[in-house]
Amino acid sequence: MPEARTLLADRFAPFGTTIFTEMTLLANKHGAVNLAQGFPDFDGPEFIKQAAIKAMGAGGGSDAPGQNQYARMFGAPVLNAAIAEGWLKRTGLSVNPDTEITVTSGCTEAICAAMMGLINPGDEVILFEPYYDSYRASVAMAGGVPKFVTLRAPGCDKGVPLRCTPLAGEGQFWFEPHELAGAFTEKTRAILVNTPHNPTGKVFSREELKLISELCIRHDVIAITDEVYEHLTFDASLPHVALATFPGMRERTLTLSSLGKTFSLTGWKIGWAIGTPELSRCVRSAHQFTTFSSATPLQWGAAEACGLNDPAMNAIRGLVGDLARGRSFLAGVLRDCGFAVHMPAGAYFIMVDWTDARAGGQRLGDRFSDDAAFCKWLTSEVGVAAIPPSVFYEHKDHGKPLARFAFCKRMGTLEKAAERLRIAFK
């Protein structure tokens, strides 16, 4: 018998179905509280939604094509202008909205377009692990070679005094500076930095970003930053800082972000890339042949908020306040259940080490071989879904003792999860 032929292109063979889809299916099957997938179970601000509805209603004839037809390839002018205004307010950097901003269908498309537009086959791209799962696939689509630098859990070496570099914020995941420096070679084309970071909740410190910027400049490397959680930080000593603001970095940084996390509108998939005209040209080369342009009325809606006017800032403050309460509540519950909690400084996830927690008198580390087995049990038997993070590591052992819980949920949802966890881990 000849071997069955697979239709799937080789470049996707290593990736399979994303873990988010897998865990959500399992959560639905068992009626579990879904703290696995990182989307809010509450709605975004009314004023943004109304602006999109108004745009859709505006229609338009052939003389004035209106807001239901294709937008300009690199973004509706009204949105590019708003993004430039918001960027200036946050960073003090002024950009030309028409040549230095590209609107994409979510940050996910921006990540892919950046890789496709900048990476030649064989070029090396440095990724911190654990990584958001689209990074690896996007590097693979471009024919690039990923190089991994590990973010280590604070106190991950059991029995060994708590280890952390002085560079990282206290209690944050950290990396070895010499490991990062060693990842740069003459083939390195880009480094991707996600801050605030999914899944660890790490906010890269100024000192860490300075080191990254110095290495980028020394090796003539482009930085691609994923800043989708830029507004969601909880620790005044670790504010979000854009890498593009460091000396010499504006020329070599492509800053990616999106509307979804900041305004709890993840389903809109409006994202953007900010970079010099030359960097933007690279992103647009890929964008024009994939989506070409993103949903026009949603761009009009987004334009209402991206300039960071008073209603937008109020909405962000309200969200950060709610998330901070969710973070404290869930962290407390998880701690009471016996998990070692790695308190996040940003984004909306809590990573825990589950191995020393006990259920039914047994230590979980003795009962489950890895994070996947633990998370499947937690979902199907306890009724709370979490993500097993080893899928985000090349060096899987770092992820095995960990699990990721999302706290971007209504308090009622978190309380329901807490009730179930408390019964299982009493």
Ligand X SMILES: Cc1ncc(COP(=O)(O)O)c(C=O)c1O
Tell me the C-alpha distance between 359 and 34, whole Å. Answer: 20
The correct pick among 40, 271, 301, 307 for binding ligand X (CB under 6 A) is 271
The correct pick among 23, 180, 215, 228 for binding ligand X (CB under 6 A) is 228
| Nearer of residues 144 and 201 to ligand X, judged by Cβ | 201
The correct pick among 117, 171, 201, 260 for binding ligand X (CB under 6 A) is 260
| Nearer of residues 261 and 400 to ligand X, judged by Cβ | 261
The correct pick among 67, 150, 198, 276 for binding ligand X (CB under 6 A) is 198
Which range binds ligand X by CB under 6 A, 242-250, 258-266, 286-294, 393-401? 258-266
Within 13 Å of residue 106, how many CA atoms lie on the same side as its CB? 12
Whether residue 284 contacts residue 101, with contact meaning beta carbons closer than 8 Å, is answered with no
Q: Which two tokens stand for residue 124?
A: 């090396």
Tell me the C-alpha distance between 51 and 374, whole Å. Answer: 44
| Nearer of residues 193 and 421 to ligand X, judged by Cβ | 193
Tell me the C-alpha distance between 394 and 390, whole Å. Answer: 8
Tell me the C-alpha distance between 14 and 17, whole Å. Answer: 10
Tell me the C-alpha distance between 175 and 191, whole Å. Answer: 14
Tell me the C-alpha distance between 134 and 166, whole Å. Answer: 30
Q: Is the C-alpha dihedral spanning 76, 77, 82, 84 positive or negative?
A: positive
Total site size for ligand X, rule CB under 6 A: 14
| Nearer of residues 150 and 198 to ligand X, judged by Cβ | 198
The correct pick among 24, 138, 150, 194 for binding ligand X (CB under 6 A) is 194
- DSSP letter at 213 equals H
Q: Does 34 bind ligand X (CB under 6 A)?
A: no
Q: Does 266 bind ligand X (CB under 6 A)?
A: yes
| Nearer of residues 205 and 266 to ligand X, judged by Cβ | 266
Query: Among all residues, whose Cβ is closest to ligand X?
Result: 106
Task: Show contacts with ligand X in window 131-170 (CB under 6 A).
Answer: 132
The minimum distance between CB 350 and ligand X, in angstroms, equals 14
Residue positions counted in the chain: 426
Task: Show contacts with ligand X in window 292-321 (CB under 6 A).
Answer: none
Within a 10 A sphere around the Cβ of 275, how many other Cβ atoms? 29
Q: Which two tokens stand for residue 254?
A: 């492509």
Which range binds ligand X by CB under 6 A, 83-91, 101-109, 391-399, 415-423? 101-109
The correct pick among 40, 97, 106, 169 for binding ligand X (CB under 6 A) is 106
The minimum distance between CB 315 and ligand X, in angstroms, equals 17
| Nearer of residues 319 and 364 to ligand X, judged by Cβ | 319
Measured CA to CA in angstroms, residue 290 lies from 80, 113, 294 at distances of 19, 8, 11
Rg over alpha carbons for the chain, rounded to the nearest Å, is: 22
Q: Does 258 bind ligand X (CB under 6 A)?
A: yes
**CB neighbour burial string for 132-146, b if at least 16 within 10 angstroms, e if fewer:** bbbbbbbbbbbebbb
Degrees (nearest 5) of the Cα angle 177, 389, 183? Answer: 25
The correct pick among 48, 103, 107, 352 for binding ligand X (CB under 6 A) is 107
Which range binds ligand X by CB under 6 A, 84-92, 235-243, 266-274, 300-308? 266-274
Interacting residues with ligand X (CB under 6 A):
38, 106-108, 132, 194, 198, 226, 228, 258, 260, 266, 269, 271
